[in-house]
């Protein structure tokens, strides 16, 4: 594959990532009745759409005009892709970007029969209608160096955007881990207080300690709320309390494993 072909592929990635962002933002704005900047990146891009579209272009171009093969390959390949992305987002962000649990014939809420069939029809319409039109308009842009420079600038931009987002997500994860530790410590102190009700001095000391932990817990919760504000629209299923519980359970498991001989 020549350098210029790679540039074109990357350019189409940005085009379809932008179209995906527009589509999701409009859909969520109507559904939530407020202006929504969809996606977890700061810029107007939803990479999942860009990668999916480029994947369709590369994988299905050899089967163009063969509707049956295009349909079958689209169903298989992009159902697997959707499952992988769903799994990755759950592991990385402890939440679900989508959930098909209420559909029949779904698997772990990440994929379902209806959506898989939709991928098949989308593969046909994309290769036969959408991409040819977009491609025709795209190649009207002249001179070529404009495409190359724009693609380079956007590549640098999205790398920076990804980096900033990754740092922010990491900070959220660190804050959640701390909150999990504080919540676990708070439970331990309360248990100590229950056991030592007769020892007044120790009781007062533990009470003060509990108040301090509660204040730290509240401060951290407020901090996490601010940190996750940008991701609320991207991940509407994000439930902070459930994530905190997971952190507490992980801490307990780690603590128990260290005790084992």
What was the pLDDT predicted at 29?
81
41: left (phi over 0), alpha (psi -120 to 50) or beta: beta
d(CA 17, CA 14): 5
Q: Name the pTM for this structure.
A: 0.71
Q: Which residue ranges of the chain lie beneath pLDDT 70?
A: 1, 93-95, 172-173, 176-177, 179-180, 189-207, 213, 217, 220-221, 223-261
What was the pLDDT predicted at 85?
86
What was the pLDDT predicted at 199?
57
What was the pLDDT predicted at 157?
93
What was the pLDDT predicted at 40?
73
% of the chain exceeding 90 in pLDDT = 28
45-79 confidence digits (pLDDT tens): 888 889 888 988 888 888 878 899 999 999 999 89
What was the pLDDT predicted at 142?
87
What was the pLDDT predicted at 7?
93
Show the tokens assigned to 167: 């740092």
Show the tokens assigned to 134: 């977009």
Domain residue spans in the chain?
3-140, 171-255
Collect all residues with Cβ–Cβ distance below 8 Å to 34 and sequence separation of at least 6.
none
What was the pLDDT predicted at 133?
94
User: Residue 111's beta-bridge partner residues?
Assistant: 107
* Chain centroid, CA 45 distance in Å: 13
What was the pLDDT predicted at 13?
95
What was the pLDDT predicted at 203?
65
Percentage helix, strand, coil for the chain under 3-state DSSP, each rounded to 5: 80, 0, 20
b/e code 78-95 from CB counts within 10 Å (16+ = b): bbebbeebbeebbeebbb
């Amino acid at each position: 594959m020549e350098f210029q072909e790679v540039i074109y592929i990357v350019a189409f990635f940005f085009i379809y990532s932008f179209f995906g962002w527009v589509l999701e933002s409009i859909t969520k704005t109507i559904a939530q009745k407020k202006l929504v900047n969809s996606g977890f990146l700061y810029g107007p891009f939803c990479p999942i759409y860009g990668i999916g579209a480029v994947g369709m272009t590369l994988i299905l171009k050899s089967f163009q005009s063969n509707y049956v093969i295009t349909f079958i390959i689209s169903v298989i390949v992009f159902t697997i892709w959707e499952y992988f992305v769903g799994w990755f987002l759950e592991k990385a962000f402890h939440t679900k970007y989508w959930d098909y649990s209420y559909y029949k014939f779904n698997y772990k809420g990440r994929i379902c029969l209806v959506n898989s069939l939709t991928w098949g029809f989308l593969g046909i319409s994309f290769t036969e209608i959408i991409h040819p039109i977009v491609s025709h308009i795209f190649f009207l842009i002249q001179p070529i160096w404009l495409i190359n420079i724009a693609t380079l600038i956007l590549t640098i931009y999205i790398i920076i955007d990804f980096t900033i987002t990754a740092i922010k997500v990491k900070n959220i994860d660190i804050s959640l881990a701390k909150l999990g530790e504080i919540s676990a410590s708070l439970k331990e102190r309360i248990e100590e207080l229950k056991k030592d009700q007769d020892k007044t001095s120790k009781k007062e000391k533990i009470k003060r300690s509990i108040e301090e932990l509660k204040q730290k817990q509240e401060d951290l919760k407020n901090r996490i709320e601010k940190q996750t504000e940008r991701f609320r629209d991207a991940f509407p299923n994000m439930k902070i309390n459930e994530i905190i519980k997971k952190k507490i359970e992980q801490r307990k498991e780690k603590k128990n494993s260290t005790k084992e001989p």
